Homo-oligomer: A and B are copies of this chain.
Amino acid sequence: MTTTNSQHISQQFEQELQDIRSRVLTMGGLVEQQLDNALKSLKKSDMDLAKSVMEDDRLVNDLEMKIDEECIQIIALRQPTASDLRLVTVILKAITDLERVGDEAHNIAQQTLNLSEMMHAKKSYGELSTLGNHVKGLLRDALDAFARLDVEAALAVAREVQEADVEYESFMRTMLTYMMEDPRTISRVLDMMWSARALERIAAHTHNLCEYVIYLVEGKDVRHLSVEHIEKVLDRD
């Protein structure tokens, strides 16, 4: 192969990796929008918006399958090694997380449909909205860290996910108290709990995105470690 040819192929390959990364970010933007709309639909009891969140599933699923196929094509045709291979295998995993974030947004939208038939949904929503906005912000920041391959930003998000977990636990305890104080609220409060649970899952997927950034940049697999432990592994304090 001539040098020009090989340069040409290498440029093409770089372009393919670039394309696939930007497609992952498109998918990220889509599920971020789904989450935003799901929370809005819950706040405003907007059933049409809730239905549109559920319909967006198809777009997210199609994108997941398309990116997956492209990753496999790249591995087969380009036979990437080292950091390029790491990128492709991380993308294979990250899109599964993103697809599940979309699923959880779908679950929240489903609660909107359930709750809209009931009265007094607003009070509980006020409390859920704090957690909802927090998790939404964390997802956005994690996608941003992923786009910029920014380890410090990823670490900051991972730390905040722990705080969101504490918020989640506290929300669940409050909901339990509501139920016990007024059993007529059981059904409604349960729906709020399912939404909170969906947010907790989204926070966990967000944490995974942060781990991928660290793996891509530092080459260290930090899954299943606490943030404190990760900081030690990375020599941060």
Where the two chains meet, the residues of A that have a C-beta atom closer than 8 Å to any C-beta of B are: 57, 61, 64-65, 68-69, 71-72, 75-76, 79, 81-82, 85-86, 89, 92-93, 96, 176, 179-180, 183, 186-187, 190, 197, 221, 223-224
Contact = CB atoms under 8 A, between A and B. Distances in A.
Contacts of A186: 176, 179-180, 183, 186
Given A92-B92, A183-B179, A221 B65 contact: yes
Contacts of A190: 176
A89 B61 contact: no
A182 to B, nearest CB: 9
A86 B68 contact: no
A72 B92 contact: no
Contacts of A176: 186-187, 190
Given A75-B75, A79-B79, 12 more contacts: A57-B224, A65-B221, A65-B223, A72-B86, A76-B81, A76-B85, A92-B92, A96-B96, A176-B186, A179-B179, A179-B183, A183-B186
A61 B96 contact: no
Contacts of A96: 93, 96
A145 B37 CA distance: 39
Contacts of A179: 179, 183, 186
